[in-house]
Amino acid sequence: MSALQSDPSGPWKGTIRVPGDKSISHRALIFGGLAVGETRVSGLLEAEDVLATADAMRALGAEITKDPDGTWRIIGVGIGGLVEPDRVLDLGNSGTGVRLLLGVVATHPITTMFTGDTSLCSRPMGRVINPLTEMGAQFTARGDNRLPLTVVGSHRPLPITYRTPVPSAQVKSAILLAGLNTPGITQVIEATPTRDHTERMLVKFGANVSISEVAAEADGAGGHSISLVGQPELKSTEVIVPADPSSAAFLAVAGLIIPGSELELGNVGVNPLRAGLFGVLADMDADLTRSNESEIGGEPVADFIVRGGIRGGNGLKGVTVPAGHAPSMIDEFPILAMAAACATGTSRFEGLAELRIKESDRLSAIVDGLTAAGVTITATDDSIEIKGCGGPPPGGATIDCQHDHRIAMAFLVLGAAAKEPITVTGAETIATSWPGFDETCNGLGARIAASDAAPANIQNA
Ligand code: S3P
């Protein structure tokens, strides 16, 4: 286990393009692997999660290579053309990788085994197993639908109409990916729309997708409907991956809570179903400007400039984020909590039940970490309330990030803005989404260095 210590720092300054979008990178590899011909991808995120998906797609028959100039080439097998892997597919820490691939293999007549790291093996898979079983796949999973598991793909898949019981782009995507090798129309209805990278990429690869709002039925539930015509020929294409808004979020908040900072973040994905954090920061009176709106590869992008106020008064005020906003910023609550800890006034975030089953129980991890750092925070099952310090929080804590990259990065950012250092143990997990995060931050002004701290739970033993 490696630990990183983040010391209080001076201002962070610079212009930077953060690494490629993780969600879009997974999808580019999967769609490229299912298309006919050669797909070229530039800006792919080269982090452990995405590389695990690349490796799994290779085991399923796709040819995936990287050119010296950094472009990735994928030669796909075509829908229905996957081969049975001769080894267990290990998706490491990646919920997106495993859930999307479960959808892909569920409607191919092959048997596939999946596993992952401690965190992934504790996450619920029933949410995808249930609809994929309706489509004809058979699963043998460890107790309570956890990994490791085996899926026997259906020889005669059936199209379904499925109303997702939880707001999850992974569940929606797994069903649509299963629908690719299923005759007829596969339909997913969501109560609240979730990130639509899958739908956008399906269209880009030539699939027939229709989106509509469906009226409320007798049970009172209307929703957002996505229908896919099965068994298209996916045509290879070129994908340009925008900078990841979830990664940009760490630097945006760092730039706001560390007085005197000024950071320019280029080409950030601003898909409205994904980039809700930036609107919330604006509601907190953040000094944040957005410019150069354009579109790359079917996804909207923009540049941001953030500036931090003077120490003792960073200018941020507390905010309430209602439940309806949660899906558009579901991965950003750890770093938003750090902004709230430095703001003036109380912040309240609602509708956070899904945070309990991310790479860690993020709701508990935020509460435990902020409490250890001297911030007053209370929680219910699905909400948190943070009393802002109106400036630098005390800090001086050691936090075990529990195999969760976003918890690790959020608390390292807080360490830079706090009065005393914050140490994060298990920080190697940051490589799942942003290898070199500490060096990048240090290049901007952070003071993050290796530490020999033991995990907090061992220290307390
Ligand atoms: C993702 C969807 C979200 C998100 C995850 C990436 C995706 O998960 O938390 O980091 O790429 O589809 P859920 O679908 O479980 O909300």
Measured from the CA of 22, which atom of ligand 1 is nearest?
A: 11
| Ligand 1 pocket check for 354: Cβ under 6 Å | yes
CB of 62 within 6 A of ligand 1: the answer is: no
Question: Is the minimum distance from the CB of 170 to ligand 1 under 6 angstroms?
Answer: yes
The catalytically annotated residue of 21, 331, 400, 404 is 331
Going along the chain from its start, the domains and CATH numbers come out as 3-20+242-460 (3.65.10.10), 22-240 (3.65.10.10)
Closest CA to 256 of 276, 279, 286: 286
Q: Residue 385: name the closest of 400, 373, 395, 371 by CA.
A: 371
What is the best residue among 172, 330, 352 to mutate for testing ligand 1's pocket, by most ligand atoms within 8 Å of CB? Answer: 330
Q: Report the separation in Å between the CA atom of 284 and the middle of ligand 1, taken as the mean of its atom positions.
A: 25
> pLDDT of the chain along its 461 residues, tens only?
799 999 999 999 999 999 999 999 999 999 999 999 999 999 999 999 999 999 999 999 999 999 999 999 999 999 999 999 999 999 999 999 999 999 999 999 999 999 999 999 999 999 999 999 999 999 999 989 999 999 999 999 999 999 999 999 999 999 999 999 999 999 999 999 999 999 999 999 999 999 999 987 666 678 999 999 999 999 999 999 999 999 999 999 999 999 999 999 999 999 999 999 999 999 999 999 999 999 988 999 999 999 998 544 578 999 999 999 999 999 999 999 999 999 999 999 999 999 999 999 999 999 999 999 999 999 999 999 999 999 999 999 999 999 999 999 999 999 999 999 999 999 999 999 999 999 999 999 999 999 987 765 544 33
pTM tops 0.85 = yes
Cβ-contact 78, 5 below 8 angstroms = no
93 lines ligand 1 (CB under 6 A): no
> Active-site residue 303, yes or no?
no
Kindly list the distances between the CA atom of residue 420 and the CA atoms of 47, 308, 368, 374, 398, in Å, as whole numbers in the listed order. Answer: 30, 19, 17, 10, 11
Ligand 1 atom closest to the Cα of residue 169 is 14
Cβ of 28 less than 6 Å from ligand 1: no
